[in-house]
Structure formats: structure tokens, C-alpha cells
Structure 1
């Protein structure tokens, strides 16, 4: 009688282990399927919506992927499930690359914005872009262009960083290069003299402030 009870007890425990193991395998397969379905669903979302909600999408993805990979340890036959995971990973990585490229393209470069804002202040809104085209400067307006440039730099000289002065120097040299062309296209002697006066004022201001900004930057770097 005792032997029979012991046998029944062992059988019950064995069934319990089997049941628990089956449940773990079922849950593991379910986590893999959930992961696969999630990746497929993200693929079908409009790219604009994916970009807008990317952080939340990626956080959910990482969670579901970890659950799926953890679940593989509870599967006897895991090769097929691993293939499913690998395929979904490849899909997601392709999507992630596209989204990151789009996000980078949509995000303005702070350095580019700073430079363009500086150019707009020195020459007027949208007059000079990345193409450094000064064809719009002619004999009729070149004096006014120099005036705006020099007076703007003078008014803001205490605010400019070293990078700003480097950009100002580059713009100044480009404007001078355009002046050489304009001189051959009918620049009046009167305007030429006025421009010479502005250049005489600006050259030492550029040199002193640019050196000062560099020195200040080096001092801060040492601190």
C-alpha cells in the first residue's frame, strides 16, 4: 500500500514537471511569435508615424526581442524559432537604418544654423548660402554691402566666438574677392574710397578680436 502511494506521488510530480515544462515551451513560442508579429506590424506603419514615435517603438522592440531570446532557452527544438527571430531582426535593422537616416536629414545641424544666421546678419537674409555665391554684389550695392558687414561685426564683436570670427574672416575674403571683379565693372572712385575706409577700420578689428577669441577659448580649455 505504501509502495503504491509512493508510486502515485512520483507520478503526480512527474506530471507536474511535464506540465510546467510544456507551459514554458508554449510561453516561449508565444514570445517568439509576439516578437515576429510586432516587427511585421511596425513595418506596415507609415514611415512618418514611425519617425514621430521612434523612441517608444524601439523601446517596445527591445523588450519583445529580449523576451523572445530568453524564451529560446526553454525550447527543445529551437532552430526554427531562432530563424524566425533572425529574420525579424534583419527586417527591423533595415527599418532602423531608414528611420535614422530620415531623422538625421530632418534634424538641422546646429553648426550650419549658426553659420547661416551669421551670414544673414552680415549680408542680409538669405543673401549668402553654403554655395558662397556673391554674384548679387555689384557696383551699385557693394558699398552698402561693406557697410552692413563692417558695422554688424563691430556691433557684435564682443559676442562672437572663435568659430564666428573664422567664418567672418572667410566671408570677408570672399567679399574682397568679389570687389576685385566689381572694380572692373564700373565701381565709382567715390565708393571705392569709402570701401577702403571701411576696410581700414575692419582689418585690425578682425585681427585683434579673432586672436582674443582664440586666447579665451584656450584659457577655458585649460580650466
Structure 2
């Protein structure tokens, strides 16, 4: 196992398309629920312990080698918003292209063939982590971090927030990211039926509203 591969996979410059998405931050800013660093921390904490946990567990399960077809169905069941399902598959497709270039392997090829329009992003990420020689905890950490770093980066652009404050938010959440990653792996080891299904209904509602905006800065 090489931890350097984890740095590559989690790097914001990895060409997987995540930079174009706010993780729900854009509609939260417009609604007045996200106005400053304190709001950002609360927003990211809620996202981390709901959709972040569910996604991290899916990625951990994929890294363990659980059936990706079952995992993709489980991801669909945990994503009630059609807009977010489309986003997850688009991001999965983009991540797949980058992962196959970086760590070519039969498992990634098979997943790409099974889902030509894209599998859910956490399932692809977990499979990519496995291809890179990483373990389930690495995959879970990567997803947990993504679940909060995306909104934090978006908030810098949306609010002209001081980037030092946004980074400080991520640093304060680091212990909770560790806890979420460990919880995700423990659940994944119990099988698909034991995967968490924590949800954030307001993110689903605002995602549908955001998708209908004629003008927006972020894709989601």
C-alpha cells in the first residue's frame, strides 16, 4: 500500500470534476443559511455526518471488494434527489476516466463497462482506491474529506470568505472526519445491508431547486 496514492486521489487537482460542484453550498448561500465561517462549519458538520458518512461507507465497501453492482443500487437508494443522482453519476464517470489513466486495472474496466453513463462517485472512488493499493479506511477518509472540502472551497468563492478561515473550518472538523471514516469502515465490513443511510433532506430539496436555476456558479 502506498499512502502517496491517497494524496493523489484526494488532491483537489485530480481531474475528477469536483471543483465544479458546491455540495449544496450555493443554494444555502442564496437562502441566507450560509453567511460566514461559523455557518460554514455548521453546514459542513451536518453534511459530514449525513451524506458524508453514507458516501464514505459506500467507498469503503467498494475498496473492500464488495459487489459494485449492489453498491451502486445502495447508492441510488440513498440518493432520493434525481438531480443529485445525476450529479453522482456524472462525477463517477469523470473520476473513472482519471482513475483508469492513473491506475489501470480490470476492476475499473469492468465497472466502466457495467455503467457506461457512470456509476455513483463513491463506488468509483472506492474501486479506484483498491486499484491504487489503498485500503477501505483510506477510501473513507478521502470521501469524508471531499464531503466538506467542496463546500468550504465553494464558500470562498460564493462569499468572498477568507480562505484561511475556510481552511481553519476543515482543520477543526478533522477529528470528526476521522470518526466518520472509522464508522464507515466498520459498517462496510458488515456488508451492504449494514451500510449507513443517514440523509439530509434539505440538501435534496435545495438540489432540485438549484438544478432549475437559469444562472448559477456551480453545477450543483
Task: Give the TM-score of the pair, scaled to structure 1.
Answer: 0.27
Structure number with higher helix proportion: 1
Larger radius of gyration: 1
